[in-house]
Amino acid sequence: MAMQFLVRHKEAELIVPAKPTPHEIRPLSDIDDQKGLRFHVPMIMFFSYNQFLDEKNPVGVIRDAVAKALVYYYPYAGRLIEGPSDKILVNCTAEGVVFREAIAEVGLDQLRNFMQPPFPYSKEFLVDASDSTEILDSPLMLIQFAVNPNRISCKMVTRLICGGLVLAIRINHAISGAIGLVQFLNAVSQISKDPSSAPSPLPVWQRWLLSARNPPYVTCVHNEFEVEKNSNSSTEPTILDFPPNLVRKGFFFGPQEIKAIKKYLPPNIRQASRFDLVTALVWRSRTIALQLDPEEIVTLTYAVNVHGKNTPKLPSGYYGNGFVSSTAVSKVNQLCNNSFVYALELVKKAKHQVTEDFIKSAIDYSVLHGKPGYSTSLKDWIVSDASRTGIDEVDFGWGKPIYGGTMDGGPTFNMAVYSRLRNTQGDDSLVVPVCLPVAAMENFQKEMEKNKFWHPKIISML
């Protein structure tokens, strides 16, 4: 049942770089520029009370550190503009990022059961300002800080009646993903502890590393961009295209659940990551729950990090979007009538196809086909794993967050952003947000419980 509490929001302000920065126009990479990334990514961090918060003004500390970090990350203080051929560029204007103070009359103990996606009070802890939801000609970052009436507060962080803090932040995905955002937050963290220091690593632009070849040419099959070609569904709108009564719930997979899943693995599968296991299981169960036409084709598309690949070699400090998407494809009857091991093999196969050649081919395909977006059909599932970005490790001087990760679980009803959560016993869990119509969600939960893979620990947001 929803709580009632008061959050009073102060006027928003713009934090600009602490020193003069270059005024220039910089191109994004062809991965950044994809139409499928033209949305905002909200993240949230909850911090327990620390004596440091009584000794210093955390709002002032963060505000000053953000301004100094923007000297190095000055493109964040600019605005996106549209260039020739629908190409998005960064106009480095030093106009700043949005920062708002807030006062919250609520304690962490009251919020503890909601500290995971989907967070039901996101509208209180991250309020829009300066039309920051737009993609072009809009602030690229929104930061919020809230506190109780007897404490100080700010819009990147929110102070609570217990003395704890909540930091909510939203970034335009076209300029950076979660990894780039965390790199910036780590820079703010370093400067907050030592105001005279420079970020380590220093930020690196070099977006040309993930741009198309000249001339571009495609050497691989890219199902991530060809969903419509692979579909047998009618062109007429269906209930799945415009689903009513959607509900989003977060499902927890800790050591106990992972151990249960592994019991179903045959001897020939010795290695499978937690991501592979959970994604395969949820994809299959989700498809069963939707009760689709057995001959329909469904897809699972997920982001594969290209940091660490030999070519293109992304330098330390690169803060652009550094991933490509890979897709598993199956007919509904094959996915649902086989065990989840069938889905697991498809997930692993899709991941292994992301070679250096695939990365270059994916970028070239996007440019040659007008930077297409991803499927918006409920039958197709899109996954992004933010559980290993390190946002739950960022320490501004008052300790690591109790929870740090995605706020809403995904920007669309067919996309899930995974987060990491530790329970009071220190167990490391993966939180998987699933969005379905009410009836399908009931089917999904029954399917999960039937196989005893999952124990009923969820949070929902209608």
Tell me the catalytic residues: 173, 395
**Is-cis flag, bond preceding 215, omega within 30?**
yes
> In sequence order, what are the residues at sequence separation of 6 or more whose Cβ sits closer than 8 angstroms to the Cβ of residue 274?
253, 258, 430
3-state secondary structure of 126: coil
Q: Are 223 and 375 in contact (CB under 8 A)?
A: no
- DSSP letter assigned to residue 327: E
Largest separation between any pair of C-alpha atoms in the chain: 64
Q: Encoding tokens for residue 216?
A: 């571009």
Beta-strand ranges (E) seen in 173-287 are: 246-253
d(CA 252, CA 421): 9
Non-local CB neighbours of 280 within 8 Å, separated by 6+ positions: 340, 341, 343, 344, 346, 347
Query: Residue 8 belongs to what H/E stretch?
Result: strand 7-9
CA proximity to 25, closest of 88, 108, 117: 88
Q: For 147-224, where are the alpha helices, taking DSSP H only?
A: 178-193
Question: CA 131, 132, 136 angle in degrees (round to 5)?
Answer: 90
CA-based torsion, 263, 264, 266, 272: positive or negative: negative
Residue 110: helix, strand or coil by DSSP?
Answer: helix
Which amino acid, one-letter code, is at 358?
A: F
Q: Which two tokens stand for residue 263?
A: 């019991």
Cβ neighbourhood burial of 372 (10 Å; 0-12, 13-18, 19+): middle
How many Å apart are CA 416 and CA 294, to the nearest integer? 24
Q: Do 379 and 241 touch, CB atoms closer than 8 A?
A: no
Phi then psi for residue 167, to 5 deg, are -110, 120
